[in-house]
Structure 1
Amino acid sequence: MLDEVTQRRLLEKLEREGGEVFISALRNPDVIEVMRNSDGRLWADFSGVGMKCLGEMAASRAESILSTCASMLGTALTRESPILEGEFPLDGSRLQGLIPPLSSTTVFAIRKKAIKVFTLADYIDNGILAEHPDTQEDFLSQVASPDGRHAESAMWSSLSLAARLEWAIREKMNILVVGGTGSGKTTLANALLHSLSQQCPHDRIVAIEDTMELQVRVENAVLLRASEQVPMSRLLRATMRLRPDRIIVGEVRGGEAYTLLKSWNSGHPGGLATIHANSAEEGLDKLSQYIFEAPDARNFSHDMVGRMIASTVNVVVFIARTSMAPGRQVKQVLRVRGFREGRFVFEG
């Protein structure tokens, strides 16, 4: 553990090593991610604009940056251990770095931590999410009535994507946010959490991540960080005893998927998680693959896992990068209606 003086000196050293162009990009609120490629070029992903080359960064400077980060993260970065993962010490952004022999020179990607939480209204204003229809208020009043289940089934497909999301949060549905790398899954998850804080401010939230990126704004919340020593699956089991109303997971990446589904399906509805995939169906297929990584689920049949997912995950949201402004688009907000003949059944 570094003492306060050493930590401050290393932070100052890191700022000097970064240089003006690099540090300015990190401090620019319009920049989403900063990357160095093996050819030495430095790139930044600008919100609503896309990728721009910022110039070049010398290999020695990039090596120094990662070396200092490794020291502050309490780990070693060597040819024998050439991958660095963790939080960038200056601002808590997500850092992924690699050095030779995995690459010809040092490469890294720094995914900036969200400074501003975008709301669903912001998504609508920016053209990322379909507008609310005139029928939304009527729909929300109908689903709150005793015969609301029938109204929900009849009207889901007529709702805008935004109205579906707000209703799903209000009705404590389990939501899976799906998207490719850099598509904005976490930012969208934060918008959904903002809606949750407005609609259900008294719910107790337990959120688990390996890099702290979620913005949980309710008063009654517990934020947990997974690590190599304490993996997400173990934290999820502990979470069950923390009296959560809702369980949130930053990103599903492995066998913890099985523990998450069990948690959501045992009296803790209204959960939220993200996963890497390129469509709603691919997202559930990926979730299925991860479940089989859990030791307790390895002997399950494909049909058993599919039915488990279909009965637990209620809504799948797919967001994708686009070549046109604003650069991202919520493409699908679908209800999961079952698993038949080896495929998931959706409504939307």
Structure 2
Amino acid sequence: MGERLQRIKDKITRELGPIIRKALEDPEITEIMLNSDGNIWTEHFSKGMEQVGAITPQAGQALLATIASSLGKEITEDQPSIEGELMLDGTPRIAGSIPPKTVGPQLTIRKHASKVFTLDDYVDASSLTPLARKYLKDAVEKRLNIMVCGGTGSGKTTFANALINEISVLCPSDRLYILEDTREIQCSSRNFEHFKTSEAESMDALVISSLRHRPDRIIVGEVRDGAALSLLESWNTGHEGGISTIHARKTSLKGAFLRLEYLLQKALPGTENGQLIGEALDLIVTIEKQGQRRLITSITEVTCYNPEKAGYQTKAIEMTAADLIKKDNEGDS
């Protein structure tokens, strides 16, 4: 690192202050938020959201100016927002704004997980039943294609990391290809490659190019666009055992299907894609934030697509503990 960049990094570290620095060092904290009123909040894996301190508007403004400089940008009244990766270990993602867009300096720091929470951790946190844990471990070993569905802040990526950890434990020699827009997936496997999109190479291009490198499993951090078509086709043609996440406003089985169909329509407008979804996708796991916990609310096998009924044949996995897990009824969705 050059002398100038080192000076900027040191300045960022100082201006973050002791509260934010401590939160960045805590492996169980996933997000840090500076609100425009100066209050600092953190999102903790097991404790949820809590206020941990405050800083002055002047300190917040100085911090955002230094972060902007590290990104080769300026943050001004005419350009009041910045996004990028923080020049610190782990390169956490940041988004920040200043007045007049906000009433005061505002910053959100999303950390890349430094600790992988295992399926056992989810059971210990009462977010997953032991029976569901056993089923998911079997699903990983049987190379089922799994889609994790949830809303913003539901913990989709963190749970995907737990499933990827199971691959590393149960199938340590499998060659994993991990594709992301921003680096959030954590992998302890001995045999993996990690690729990130760029202006020159889209997610769709990454999925297609990955097929030339002999992957056993293809993992996409979050499928957001027409790359859903290439991903499902790869899962359906000899690359079973993949994992991806999908954002759905309504965290439900129906919401997951609707979102996937919408993304496939972006790739192939006017086509019927139910058959591909029914063949390529084996399992949908829904996750929600409820109170201070993130709960696995359903696990559903996708059996096939029924064109006569224009619906999916599914089978809900029995997980017991009805107060913890909301179960979908077996049937057409």
Regarding TM over 0.5, the answer is yes
- SS of equivalent to 1:197: helix
Where does residue 161 of structure 2 map in the other structure?
190
Query: What's the offset of the Cα at 1:195?
Result: 0.7
- SS of equivalent to 1:299: coil
Alignment of 1:80-99 (within 5 A): 82-91=80-89, 92-99=91-98
For 1:14 and 1:86, the matched residues in 2 are separated by 14
In the alignment, which of 259, 266, 277 is matched to residue 293 of structure 1?
A: 266
Q: What runs of 5+ residues in structure 1 fail to find an aligned partner?
A: 132-159
- Counterpart of 2:277, as a letter, is I
- Counterpart of 1:228, as a letter, is E
Do the aligned residues in 2 keep the contact of 1:164 with 1:333 (CA within 8 Å)? no
**In 2 relative to 1, CA 87–345 (structure 1 residues): closer, same or farther, beyond 3 Å?**
farther
In the alignment, which of 257, 261, 268 is matched to residue 232 of structure 2?
A: 261
- Counterpart of 2:140, as a letter, is I
Query: What's the offset of the Cα at 1:344?
Result: 3.2
Where does residue 58 of structure 2 map in the other structure?
60
Alignment of 1:133-152 (within 5 A): none
Alignment of 1:30-69 (within 5 A): 30-69=28-67
- SS of equivalent to 2:62: helix
- SS of equivalent to 1:90: coil
Alignment of 1:141-220 (within 5 A): 160-220=131-191
Where does residue 122 of structure 1 map in the other structure?
121
Deviations 1:199-218 (A, max 9, x none): 11111111011221212222
For 2:231 and 2:80, the matched residues in 1 are separated by 31
Deviations 1:150-175 (A, max 9, x none): xxxxxxxxxx3212211211111110
Where does residue 316 of structure 1 map in the other structure?
284
Bigger helix share:
1
- SS of equivalent to 1:241: helix
Query: What's the offset of the Cα at 1:113?
Result: 1.8
Query: What's the offset of the Cα at 1:29?
Result: 3.0
Where does residue 107 of structure 1 map in the other structure?
106
Query: What's the offset of the Cα at 1:337?
Result: 2.0
**In percent, how many aligned pairs have the same letter?**
38
Q: What runs of 5+ residues in structure 2 fail to find an aligned partner?
A: 317-333
Say which is worse superposed, 53-62 or 38-47, in terms of deviation.
Answer: 53-62
Query: What's the offset of the Cα at 1:226?
Result: 1.1
Where does residue 29 of structure 1 map in the other structure?
27
Is 1:284 paired with 2:283? no
Do the aligned residues in 2 keep the contact of 1:41 with 1:56 (CA within 8 Å)? yes
Where does residue 330 of structure 1 map in the other structure?
296
- SS of equivalent to 2:61: helix
Do the aligned residues in 1 keep the contact of 2:30 with 2:45 (CA within 8 Å)? yes
Where does residue 222 of structure 2 map in the other structure?
251
For 2:290 and 2:78, the matched residues in 1 are separated by 38
Query: What's the offset of the Cα at 1:112?
Result: 1.7
- Counterpart of 1:329, as a letter, is L
In the alignment, which of 312, 325, 329 is matched to residue 344 of structure 1?
A: 312
- SS of equivalent to 1:293: helix
- SS of equivalent to 2:52: strand
- SS of equivalent to 2:275: helix
**In 2 relative to 1, CA 12–180 (structure 1 residues): closer, same or farther, beyond 3 Å?**
same
Query: What's the offset of the Cα at 1:197?
Result: 1.0
Where does residue 330 of structure 2 map in the other structure?
none
- SS of equivalent to 2:128: coil
For 1:263 and 1:73, the matched residues in 2 are separated by 36
Deviations 1:288-319 (A, max 9, x none): 2122222xx1231xxx2222212111101111
For 2:282 and 2:176, the matched residues in 1 are separated by 19
Do the aligned residues in 2 keep the contact of 1:161 with 1:332 (CA within 8 Å)? no
Query: What's the offset of the Cα at 1:221?
Result: 0.9
Query: What's the offset of the Cα at 1:266?
Result: 2.2
- Counterpart of 1:41, as a letter, is N
- Counterpart of 1:85, as a letter, is E
For 2:155 and 2:242, the matched residues in 1 are separated by 19
Deviations 1:49-103 (A, max 9, x none): 2211233333333333333333333445455654433322223222222344543
Q: How many residues align?
A: 311
Misfit runs of 4+, over 6 Å: none
**In 2 relative to 1, CA 82–307 (structure 1 residues): closer, same or farther, beyond 3 Å?**
farther
Do the aligned residues in 2 keep the contact of 1:45 with 1:52 (CA within 8 Å)? yes
Do the aligned residues in 1 keep the contact of 2:156 with 2:287 (CA within 8 Å)? yes
For 2:239 and 2:119, the matched residues in 1 are separated by 24
Do the aligned residues in 1 keep the contact of 2:65 with 2:75 (CA within 8 Å)? yes
